[in-house]
């Protein structure tokens, strides 16, 4: 087929004299080719078009590293916006998806804390309409619904009056979230549940039978190890913000934390992915290090950011709760010491993972790119720079030989287009 009949001509851009993070490892003195919003293989491209690049971006004399765009799968809000605010959900998605780009986040899951059913019925259809690519915006991947099927004693910053059980199994979940749960292009990407809630094992199993693309994550739970393991056998594949809002590790019953410590559970199910908030507040650096050493490929960096992130001021909303900032990186439910999400950025978490665990910068970036993308089944197009993946990437510079965690975000590209800040 000739270019004349193949549709509009697509600009070809070559990035050269740079290092590139591919397949989880840094490739030195590499090139990156982009066409039509996709990463392309140069040999195949030349065979198809017999053309060279229309534009060359040359980094000669400048140490740079091109990495996939960061993927944040737990983000409650940012820049003063809370995704559970039904009156401002469209505005919230627009402002946050543009603002996140300066932090290198090119795709994310807007997260809803436990809320009344009417909030889900109103918000989820609007999130569904915003899924997909949009020029100059981070891509909305689908909602992460954190609750309301959670354990009251482990509610954390969730409103106890919104929490539910599911004695009728899947039907209770459908009634709560509404038709969006079963829509052909569901707005729902992840659901966090407490596995010990009445009816939850049956609910997880039926949900996964109906829609294998929705990820079930365990969180805000009092589950013992055997119960959490049984939830994996029903179809759960992730743990939400490991260590937080769950039973602590104990040598006689390690609880959900114990799931990451063995190659296979006794039921034969692979150990799960786990989110970790590497802000130095939600988990001690030593705890982060233990988790990472136990299961490095399962580590997913999440910010768990709330409306206070990126803003001045002290008092903000999180769902139906009022929260207060008490330090640069610490936010609590007003009048308590209960942590309520975070106000950190993804680059901050990446740098901390290097400092806390001693992993390489490339490994830390993997925890913000290929790991989250793989966990939700989109690693063919996100979190990678392999041919045919989306051309969402970040150009890093200002490295420091004395500090392996150091880097600066120089430029961000979405769909192959440079973002103008």
The catalytic site residues sit at: 304
Give dist(CA 78, CA 27) in Å, integer.
34
The contacts found for 312-319 with CB under 8 angstroms, 24 or more apart, are 316/80, 316/82, 317/82, 317/85, 318/76, 318/77, 318/82, 318/84, 318/113, 318/157, 319/76, 319/82, 319/84, 319/112, 319/113, 319/114, 319/115, 319/158, 319/159, 319/162
Dihedral sign from CA coordinates of 115, 232, 260, 345: negative
Interstrand relation of 331-333 and 55-58 (parallel, antiparallel or unpaired): unpaired
Contact 32, 65 (CB under 8 A): no
Give dist(CA 295, CA 290) in Å, integer.
9
SS3 category, 173: helix
Give dist(CA 314, CA 341) in Å, integer.
14
The position carrying tokens 């001693």 is 358
Count the neighbouring beta carbons within 10 Å of the beta carbon of residue 55.
10
- Token pair listed for 186: 């569901």
Q: Residue 12 belongs to what H/E stretch?
A: strand 12-22
Nearest Cα neighbor of 414 from 144, 189, 26, 97 is: 97
């Amino acid at each position: 087929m000739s270019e004349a009949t193949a549709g509009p001509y697509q600009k070809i851009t070559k990035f050269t004299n740079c290092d590139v993070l591919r397949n989880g490892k840094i490739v030195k003195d590499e090139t990156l080719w982009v066409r039509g919003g996709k990463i392309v293989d140069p040999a195949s491209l030349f065979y198809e078009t017999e053309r060279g690049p229309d534009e060359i971006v040359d980094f000669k004399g400048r140490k740079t590293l091109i990495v996939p765009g960061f993927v944040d799968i737990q983000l409650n809000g940012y820049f003063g916006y809370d995704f559970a605010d039904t009156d401002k959900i469209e505005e919230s998605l627009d402002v946050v998806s543009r603002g996140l780009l300066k932090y290198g986040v090119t795709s994310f899951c807007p997260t809803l804390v436990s809320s009344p059913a009417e909030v889900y019925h109103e918000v989820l259809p609007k999130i569904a309409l915003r899924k997909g690519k949009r020029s100059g915006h981070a891509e909305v991947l689908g909602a992460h619904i954190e609750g309301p099927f959670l354990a009251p004693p482990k509610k954390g910053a969730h409103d106890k009056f919104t929490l539910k059980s599911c004695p009728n199994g899947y039907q209770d979940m459908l009634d709560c979230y509404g038709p969006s749960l079963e829509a052909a292009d569901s707005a729902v990407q992840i659901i966090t549940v407490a596995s010990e809630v009445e009816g939850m094992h049956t609910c997880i199993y039926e949900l996964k039978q109906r829609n294998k693309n929705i990820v079930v994550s365990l969180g805000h739970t009092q589950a013992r190890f055997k119960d959490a393991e049984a939830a994996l056998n029903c179809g759960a594949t992730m743990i939400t913000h490991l260590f937080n809002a769950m039973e602590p590790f104990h040598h006689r019953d390690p609880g959900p934390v114990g799931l990451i410590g063995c190659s296979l559970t006794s039921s034969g199910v692979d150990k799960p992915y786990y989110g970790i908030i590497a802000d130095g507040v939600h988990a001690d650096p030593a705890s982060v290090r233990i988790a990472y050493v136990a299961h490095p490929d399962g580590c997913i960096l999440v910010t768990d950011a709330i409306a206070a992130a990126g803003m001045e001021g002290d008092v903000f909303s999180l769902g139906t709760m009022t929260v207060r900032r008490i330090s640069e990186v610490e936010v609590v439910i007003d009048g308590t010491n209960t942590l309520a999400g975070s106000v950190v950025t993804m680059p901050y978490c990446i740098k901390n993972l290097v400092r806390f665990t001693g992993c390489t910068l490339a490994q830390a970036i993997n925890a913000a790119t290929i790991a989250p993308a793989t966990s939700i089944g989109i690693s063919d197009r996100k979190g990678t720079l392999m041919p045919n993946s989306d051309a969402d990437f970040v150009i890093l510079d200002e490295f420091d030989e004395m500090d392996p965690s150091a880097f600066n975000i120089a430029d961000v590209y979405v769909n192959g287009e440079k973002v103008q800040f």
